[in-house]
Structure 1
Amino acid sequence: MAYRILIVDDSTFFRRRIKQILELDSELEVVGEAKNGIEAVSMAATLKPDAITMDVEMPLMDGIEAVKGVMKQTPTPIIMFSSVTREGAQATLDALDAGAVDFITKNFEDIALNRAEAVSLLQSKVKSLARTSNRLGRGRESSPIKNKGQVRTRLPDQMLGSKYTGSLNTDKTNSSIPNYACLAIGASTGGPVVLQQILMGLPTSLPVPVVIVQHMPGTFTEAFANRLNDLCQVTVKEAKNGDRLQNGVCYLAPGGKHLTVSGTKNSAKVTVSEPSLYPKAAYKPSVDITFESLSKVYSGDVLAVILTGMGADGKEGCRLLKDKGATIWAQDKDSCVVYGMPQAVTVANISEKSFNIAAMTENIKKRLSS
């Protein structure tokens, strides 16, 4: 049976094009089209689709308010179509905060130039989200979380549970636990929300630098880093070429480029490279490329975490880190939006433990304070 998809966009042309692309895949069926947010909320409740594609800018009710309405009445996985402008990036992050779980840029010039890749990407993203429809939960946590300033955020209920499949082995002696010098995190689909929760749980006194690779376009990473910096006790910034890694600072790889680290564990610096330097890399930024560089600088003194996401980026980088003695953890299936990247390192017996996000945060703090 095909996954049922609702398309929401005020452009008749765009709705038609998305419908054509999705229905090239026999596993996808477009069951409805809405031209504004009001129609989207109503049709989602009536049709109960497996996934929704949602425009950000629409008349009567925009995509952000529509996401809130859908998540309140009929929780459904939603992928946003966003412009590549700074304003589009901010609005898309607001939509993710409201309940959407992924986004794709709304740029048909790119699709025309790379049609096969673009078509496959959209189909894969929509199918991956549709498969999660029965695990979405009840939307957003209503209670505010206070932190730096007056900013608050709300997080998906399914990410907030206390159950987890692994537990920290407190019987280990201190000598058996590496003297960690770096925390490394890789994520893709669904990553922004869970990254936000993990980083919000880290203390200002974090004794290591944090290197983060989130699959995201270049126009989004600066806005995402700034938002995280407002929400978290730790400092979060988009990594710049030449940055010296400092304890308690989180460095987000710039979208569309690659981040590597060089030097020594006591004097490590960031290099930001154009994608042409790594022509075989499927993702920009690439978790594998960043993690490989960390294995050369920090050897086994790394705690590496693989979060929700499509594909297997990070698997080979984690393997290299593990070969040096590093610790690899993965997000568990139940709390993932897409159990792809964590599954890859788990099935390959690279990861030591799997945790849901609430447990992941607590265990990171415990392990780094050991």
Structure 2
Amino acid sequence: MAVTVLIVDDSSFFRRRLSDMITGVDGLSVVGCAENGLEAVELCKKLKPDVITMDYEMPVMDGITAVRRIMQECPTPILMFSSLTYEGARITLDSLAAGAVDYLPKNFSEIASNSAQLKKRLAQCILDVAAAGKKSTAPTTPFSIGVRPASTAAASSVSSATSAALNLARHSVDCNVIVIGTSTGGPLALQNVLSSLPANFSKPLVLVQHMPAAFTKAFAERLNSFCQITVKEAVDGDRLAAGVALLAPGGKQLIISAGGTVKVLPGDERLHYKPCVDITFASAANVFADKVLAVVLTGMGADGCEGAKLLKQKGATVWGQDERTSVIYGMPMAVAKAQLTDEVLPLEQIGPRLIQATL
């Protein structure tokens, strides 16, 4: 059965181009279009689409307000379109907090060019967002929070793995740095983890979130406003410090260097992810060997798995988020399937466990 999509945008050109791209993909179907947020809420109730693509700046009712209304009245997984600006980043982060699952940059020139690559990326995002939504049964819970019951068999497996980890591994972790990697669902997952840490947290942290260049400054500021620890976008030469989380800049790569500093390097077009979790994990392994605690949170793909292998070869510790609380169980699943995780934890336990492990 095809995944049905409701397109919401005040631009007739954008609605038409999105509709053309989506209907050209097997397994996807456009069931309606809305010109503003209010119409989106009404059509959502009437058409019950599997996924909604949502613009943020519209007349009558803006996208964030529409997301909040939809999540309250007819919860549906939402893919936001956002501009690649600081203000666009701030609005996108607000929409994720309101309940949107994921976002894509709104690039009119790319849309107009009929890019096959964009069509493929859009289709995959819609399918991933739909998959996340189908696993949610709590009608008032925003999908971006990522609390999704897995299938009975999977839930049993995750529960058993988690229980075993919690029972057998409540020891402290001897580490000089904590490195956290994530992608889809990561903004709220990181907020959940970091906001539970006290101001006097004893370890430095490095964060790698797949995110465009224009977004990470606003994201770091947002995290900093929610947390007792300090969170900042990393700049070349920053020094690792206890109770400070350095966020890898979007569009670039972050490497941990000898002496406890970080290097921020150009993104390298040969690499799919900018920033890339594998690269930061590998650099941590080279510098700190077994004195690294790596955490892989929600996200599509397998970024972080190769880096985790290098870390494990050095004797480092690797944790992974569990399936139930992952918006997309891709990155942590890849690490778990490779048998690299020392502990599998639900999101709500990762922050408290970090505190306990580093006392």
TM norm structure 2: 0.91
Give matches, 1:245-256, under 5 Å.
Answer: 245-256=240-251
Whether 1:222 aligns to 2:211 is no
Match for 1:207: what amino acid? S
Gaps of 5+ in 1: 142-153
Shift of 1:361: 2.1
Which of residues 163, 168, 182 in structure 1 aligns to 2:177? 182
Following the alignment from structure 1 to structure 2, what is the Cα–Cα distance between the partners of residues 173 and 72?
A: 38
Indicate if the aligned counterparts of 2:144 and 2:327 stay in contact, CA closer than 8 A.
Answer: no
Shift of 1:18: 1.1
Shift of 1:352: 2.1
Which residue of 2 is the match for residue 347 of structure 1?
A: 337
Give matches, 1:175-214, under 5 Å.
Answer: 178-214=173-209
Identity score, percent:
47
Following the alignment from structure 1 to structure 2, what is the Cα–Cα distance between the partners of residues 343 and 133?
A: 18
Shift of 1:139: 3.8
Q: Say which SS state the counterpart of residue 75 (structure 1) adopts.
A: coil
Which residue of 2 is the match for residue 7 of structure 1?
A: 7
Following the alignment from structure 2 to structure 1, what is the Cα–Cα distance between the partners of residues 66 and 202?
A: 41
Shift of 1:170: 5.7
Q: Say which SS state the counterpart of residue 41 (structure 2) adopts.
A: helix
Q: Say which SS state the counterpart of residue 166 (structure 1) adopts.
A: helix
Shift of 1:155: 7.8
Q: Say which SS state the counterpart of residue 162 (structure 2) adopts.
A: coil
Which residue of 1 is the match for residue 153 of structure 2?
A: none
Which of residues 304, 321, 340 in structure 1 aligns to 2:294? 304
Match for 2:354: what amino acid? I
Match for 1:357: what amino acid? L
Match for 1:95: what amino acid? S
Which of residues 336, 339, 351 in structure 2 aligns to 1:361? 351
Which residue of 2 is the match for residue 37 of structure 1?
A: 37
CA displacement, residues 229-257 of structure 1 (integer Å, 9 cap, x when unaligned): 01101100000011011111001100011
Following the alignment from structure 1 to structure 2, what is the Cα–Cα distance between the partners of residues 229 and 99?
A: 21
Gaps of 5+ in 2: 150-157
Q: Say which SS state the counterpart of residue 119 (structure 1) adopts.
A: helix
Indicate if the aligned counterparts of 1:159 and 1:356 stay in contact, CA closer than 8 A.
Answer: no
Following the alignment from structure 1 to structure 2, what is the Cα–Cα distance between the partners of residues 172 and 339?
A: 23
Match for 1:180: what amino acid? C
Match for 1:130: what amino acid? A
Q: Say which SS state the counterpart of residue 328 (structure 1) adopts.
A: strand
Indicate if the aligned counterparts of 1:31 and 1:49 stay in contact, CA closer than 8 A.
Answer: yes
CA displacement, residues 60-80 of structure 1 (integer Å, 9 cap, x when unaligned): 000000000000011111111
Whether 1:336 aligns to 2:322 is no
C-alpha RMSD over aligned residues: 2.2
CA displacement, residues 341-360 of structure 1 (integer Å, 9 cap, x when unaligned): 11111111111222211122
Shift of 1:328: 1.1
Shift of 1:182: 0.9
Shift of 1:40: 0.7
The more displaced of 209-218 and 357-366 is: 357-366
Shift of 1:172: 5.9
Indicate if the aligned counterparts of 1:258 and 1:273 stay in contact, CA closer than 8 A.
Answer: yes
Indicate if the aligned counterparts of 2:79 and 2:126 stay in contact, CA closer than 8 A.
Answer: yes
Q: Say which SS state the counterpart of residue 260 (structure 2) adopts.
A: strand
Which residue of 1 is the match for residue 155 of structure 2?
A: none
Q: 1:157–1:284: structure 2 CA closer, same or farther, 3 Å change rule? A: closer
Match for 1:273: what amino acid? L
CA displacement, residues 105-146 of structure 1 (integer Å, 9 cap, x when unaligned): 1013245679233222211111001012233333458xxxxx
Which of residues 152, 159, 162 in structure 2 aligns to 1:166? 162
Which residue of 2 is the match for residue 60 of structure 1?
A: 60
TM norm structure 1: 0.89
CA displacement, residues 270-297 of structure 1 (integer Å, 9 cap, x when unaligned): 1111123xx4321111001111101011
Which residue of 2 is the match for residue 269 of structure 1?
A: 261
Following the alignment from structure 1 to structure 2, what is the Cα–Cα distance between the partners of residues 223 and 187?
A: 17
Following the alignment from structure 2 to structure 1, what is the Cα–Cα distance between the partners of residues 5 and 111?
A: 20
Indicate if the aligned counterparts of 1:139 and 1:157 stay in contact, CA closer than 8 A.
Answer: no
Shift of 1:17: 0.9
Which residue of 1 is the match for residue 152 of structure 2?
A: none
Which residue of 2 is the match for residue 99 of structure 1?
A: 99
Following the alignment from structure 1 to structure 2, what is the Cα–Cα distance between the partners of residues 272 and 330?
A: 25
Which residue of 1 is the match for residue 154 of structure 2?
A: none
Following the alignment from structure 1 to structure 2, what is the Cα–Cα distance between the partners of residues 123 and 170?
A: 41
Match for 2:256: what amino acid? V
Q: 1:219–1:114: structure 2 CA closer, same or farther, 3 Å change rule? A: farther
Q: Say which SS state the counterpart of residue 64 (structure 2) adopts.
A: helix
Q: Say which SS state the counterpart of residue 215 (structure 2) adopts.
A: helix
Following the alignment from structure 2 to structure 1, what is the Cα–Cα distance between the partners of residues 39 and 111?
A: 27
